[in-house]
Amino acid sequence: MRPVRFVALGDSLTEGVGDPVGRGRRGWAALLAAGLAEQPVHFTNLARSGAQTGDVAERQLPAGLALRPDLVSVVVGVNDTLRRTFDLGAVAARLDTVYAACTGHGALLLTACLPDPGEMLGLPGPLARPLARRQRAVNDVVHALSDRYGAVHLHACEGEWTTDRSMWSADRLHPGERGHRQLALRFHALLAERGAATGPAPSPDSEFDAPGRAASLWWLATAGTGWVARRCTDLLPQLLALAASELRHHARGTSARLDLHATAAVAAALAAPSPNVHPEAEAEAA
């Protein structure tokens, strides 16, 4: 029986940050791969820390399709929201291209919407709300495009797991081992419903202890300091301007306008002509 080929695309979440094993990383996708089928599974993880939708579309996608996958996971977008160059229309177009290419090559597509990074980091309201609005917009795009391409979609942006500290690593942005296992378990259940996962479900039980407060402080004092500095250089000036706008609208009682603007941006991004549909096909569909 031919092995099942599973390729994972995305950023640090799929790369396995937060789930160290030995000198490497494991992560939810590797945990899922182990239970996909009774026959052998050839798993290739092309996800890289810091990747944005453009990195997936331009670099990871061609390498992944060359492996002729049966299953492709595409979980990306948070890093786009953390950049001053954030452009929802461009994010939507890139995801549309990636999803279309994967399904066009006959692969079953896995997608997920993700929690708001501002909330996970515990940022003050005026700073957190603009990031939350961006992440909700990306999630709305992912929802719509997942429906368009028949993806197996995991709604992971909310729920008890987002507030359970034992699910998260020391950096509060990436799942810890329990969180990665939770993602793998939930994806496995969705695939099993479609008959696309026939192997044993991943265990929810951790092999290692969850990080404590001391580990969180150590991360902030070492790797975390560099991460915050890089984000501050890139995003902070714009985020401060967005926060000032939040405060002005709050003082005037017009905060709802910001939400309406975000909703309109999502609609515009999804209404833009798909780069993967020929005009003749659009005319026939109309």
What secondary structure does DSSP assign to 86-131, as a single string?
--HHHHHHHHHHHHHHHHHTTPEEEEEE---HHHHHT--HHHHHHH
The continuous run of DSSP H or E covering 63 comes out as: helix 61-65
Q: What is the pTM of this model?
A: 0.87
Tens digits of residue pLDDT in 219-255:
555 555 565 556 556 777 777 788 888 888 888 888 8
Percent of the chain with pLDDT over 90: 56
CA distances, 231 to each of 78, 132, 182, 237, 255 (Å): 13, 16, 28, 10, 26
Average pLDDT over residues 177-203: 95
Among 173, 224, 150, CA closest to 15: 173
Highest mean pLDDT among 99-103, 214-218, 223-227: 99-103
Tens digits of residue pLDDT in 32-59:
999 999 899 999 999 999 899 999 999 9
- Tell me what pLDDT residue 256 has: 85
Domain 4-285 indexed as CATH 3.40.50.1110: yes
User: Tokens for 174?
Assistant: 């990436």
Per-domain boundaries in the chain: 4-285
Tens digits of residue pLDDT in 57-72:
999 999 999 999 999 9
User: Tokens for 285?
Assistant: 């569909």
